[in-house]
Structure formats: structure tokens, C-alpha cells
Amino acid sequence: MTDLDLLVTAIAEDLGDPSAWRAPIEFRDSLALCALNSAYSLRASSAAGTNVLARYRALRPTADTDSGPDLMKVMDSAGGPADFARDVLHNESKLPGTNRLRPEGIYEGLSRLAALDTAVTSTEHLRTAATNGSTSAKTAWLSVNGFGTLAWSYLIMNAGVSTETKPDVMVQRYLARVLPDDNRPTPARTRQLLQLAATKLAAEPRDLDRAIWLYESPSK
């Protein structure tokens, strides 16, 4: 059997019918929530991200429709990203591999998206930028110190791009277990296998990614 065959077989046994999978996390109308969840999901517990979003929503009745610039204005009103992290979110954790607070990276990333020739300030803009063949928005987000490819994947998946996957620790752990020990895939190969498996299962890659993550999560 090929790696793809082994993966599809394991998914069918472990995860069941795709129609019964839980819906993925999505903030289809709020680039602000997408950005917060993206940054606070990097090497962090799901509870941390949930708490951050709840605190932002408590502050902003319009959180579910806030744009990127809206979030930047909120940070400015709080005294800047550092004060926003401390006083609003009550979470001063750092971006992986850096000494930067997560809102500092968010502010920079949103600024870079807004400054593009075709400005990206909303989830609608982001979905278009992520699927029209251009790489300018992705390049802008990845240029932020502390943001890697997973930060981009989280961002656009949260915005509703269902063809995207993110080979994070949970997903790679699952593949490492169901595939032969001598053939553990790289992150790039993991993405490819997930997309191929989703096609075979008549599922969206993002939905499959979420189902595997929940299966592997200790809090499921």
C-alpha cells in the first residue's frame, strides 16, 4: 500500500464519516479575530487562544466583523501592542523563537497587509489574496519576525480558505504514527498527503486537518 492508501485507511478507521466531523474554526467576517487566533495558536494551548478571543469580544461588541485596521486602532487606544497584551488580553506570551509579544507581530503583520498595493484589510480581501495566485499577502505576513508558514495557514484557514492545511505538531504526530517509521513525511509532503486524502474522501482539506487535530488533542 502507498502512503496515501495507508493514510486514507487510518482516517476512515479513526475519524469515521467526514459528514460527521466537527466544523473547523472560522471567523469569516473578522480579520481581527483571524489574526489574534493565528498568532495565539502558535505553539500554544487551545485554551489560551479561546481566552484571548473572549477578552477581545468582551471589549469589542463588533469583534465578529472587525477589520485589521480596527484591531490596530484598538491596540493604539490601549497604548500600543504591549499594553494591549497586558491590559486587555492578559496574555504576554511571546511569539515562538522570539522575545516579541504576539500583538507586536500582529500589529506589524496587519500593517504590512494594509500597505500592499492591493490593500488587505478584511477577510474578503484576504480570501481573494490567498486564492488568486498572488503571493504578496503571504510574503507580507511571513516577513514578520516570529511568523512562519503555520501562522499564514492558521490565518487564511480561519478566514474560510478551505483548501489550506497546516502540518502542525498534532497533524504530523498522527501521520508519523500511521505511516511506516522509515517514511515520515516532511511538512510539505504532509500538506500534499492531506490534500490528496481529502480528495479521496470527498472532504475539504481544512476539515480533514481539523478532524485529525481534534483526534490527537489531549483535550478532545
Q: Which of 110, 142, 159 is the last residue of a domain?
A: 159
pLDDT digits (tens, 9 = 90+) for 88-146: 999 999 999 999 999 999 999 999 999 999 999 999 999 999 999 899 999 999 999 99
Burial of 96 (0-12, 13-18, 19+ CB in 10 A): middle
In the chain, how many domains are there?
2
Q: Which of 159, 190, 207 is the last residue of a domain?
A: 159
pLDDT of residue 185: 83
110 and 76 inside one domain: yes
154 and 173 inside one domain: no
71 and 12 inside one domain: no
136 and 66 inside one domain: yes
Domain region containing 130: 31-159
How far apart CA 199 and CA 183 sit, in angstroms, is 22
Q: Which of 159, 179, 197 is the last residue of a domain?
A: 159
10 and 49 inside one domain: no
Name the stretches of the chain with pLDDT < 50: 220
Question: Vertex 76, ends 70 and 82: CA angle to 5°?
Answer: 115
35 and 94 inside one domain: yes
Residue 17 CB neighbours (<10 A): 9
The pTM assigned to this predicted structure is 0.91
